[in-house]
């Protein structure tokens, strides 16, 4: 496994020297994850930032009735974690597992803290990621409160165009906040594209 996709993602926001890239690469861990394999479960303390280099992960919670509520899908090139847990080092509330066979890059929180001092540009990069993540979640919350299920589905298709054909309807439904049965009925009412 190579860190190229990660380095390219970072280069969209900051420019690292060869030495700074090597300092980052030195602390990376590469891992293959099987489909449906958990990286974290509710109650675990998140100690790593996770970058998806191949495949797809998802984060979700399970309510008291056993229903999944998907917060995020992370296809290749995306980051994923239980942000509250990684920041507070308290037990997390999310499950993170692999939607597909995946390859991921892990950075330990302790190594990341050291990198912030050794390579201050990385602190700027992760601040930009955190700001973008906050803006995205705020926008999604407003959408969930104000848009119809069809509008939320259409937004999902725009946000995750590479996933819409590959995900089970059950997972799409859990992301947009409806039952699989409701999603199926809704999609059946949409005229077929010619």
Residues 6+ apart with CB under 8 A from 88: none
Question: What's residue 193's pLDDT?
Answer: 56
pLDDT grade for 191, boundaries at 50, 70 and 90: confident
Q: Is position 33 within any domain? A: yes
Whole-model pTM?
0.91
Q: Is position 171 within any domain? A: no
Question: What's residue 22's pLDDT?
Answer: 96
- What is the C-alpha separation between 170 and 150, in angstroms, rounded? 15
The DSSP-derived string for 105-166 is EEEEHHHHHHHHHH-HHHHHHHHHHHHHHHHHHHHHHHHHHHS-HHHHHHHHHHH-TTTTTT
Give me the domain span that covers residue 95.
Answer: 4-119
Q: Is position 65 within any domain? A: yes
Q: Is position 153 within any domain? A: no
Q: Name the domain count of the chain.
A: 1
Q: What confidence tens digit (pLDDT) does each residue in 19-34 have?
A: 999 999 999 999 999 9
Q: What confidence tens digit (pLDDT) does each residue in 56-76 have?
A: 999 999 999 999 999 999 999
Question: What's residue 13's pLDDT?
Answer: 96
We report the CATH number of the domain holding residue 33 as 2.60.120.10
Q: What confidence tens digit (pLDDT) does each residue in 136-184 have?
A: 999 999 999 999 999 999 999 998 888 888 899 999 999 999 999 999 9
Specify the 3-state DSSP secondary structure of 79. Answer: strand
Q: Are 44 and 98 in contact (CB under 8 A)?
A: no
Q: Is position 74 within any domain? A: yes
Q: What confidence tens digit (pLDDT) does each residue in 77-133 have?
A: 999 999 999 999 999 999 999 999 999 999 999 999 999 999 999 999 999 999 999
pLDDT grade for 194, boundaries at 50, 70 and 90: very low
| 52 φ/ψ angles, rounded to the nearest 5 degrees | -90, 120
């Amino acid at each position: 496994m190579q860190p190229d996709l990660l380095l390219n993602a970072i280069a969209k926001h900051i420019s690292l020297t060869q030495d700074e890239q090597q300092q980052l690469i030195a602390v990376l861990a590469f891992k293959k994850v099987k489909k449906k394999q958990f990286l974290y479960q509710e109650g675990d303390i998140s100690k790593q930032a996770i970058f998806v280099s191949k495949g797809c992960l998802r984060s979700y919670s399970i309510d008291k009735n056993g229903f999944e509520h998907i917060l995020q899908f992370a296809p290749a090139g995306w980051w994923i974690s239980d942000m509250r847990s990684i920041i507070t080092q308290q037990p997390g509330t999310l499950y993170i597992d692999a939607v597909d066979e995946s390859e991921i890059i892990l950075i330990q929180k302790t190594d990341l803290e050291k990198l912030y001092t050794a390579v201050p540009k990385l602190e700027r990069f992760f601040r930009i990621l955190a700001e973008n993540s906050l803006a995205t979640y705020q926008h999604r919350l407003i959408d969930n409160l104000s848009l119809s299920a069809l509008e939320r589905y259409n937004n999902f298709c725009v946000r995750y165009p590479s996933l819409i054909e590959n995900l089970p309807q059950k997972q799409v439904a859990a992301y947009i906040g409806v039952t699989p049965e409701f999603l199926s009925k809704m999609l059946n009412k949409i005229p077929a594209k010619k």
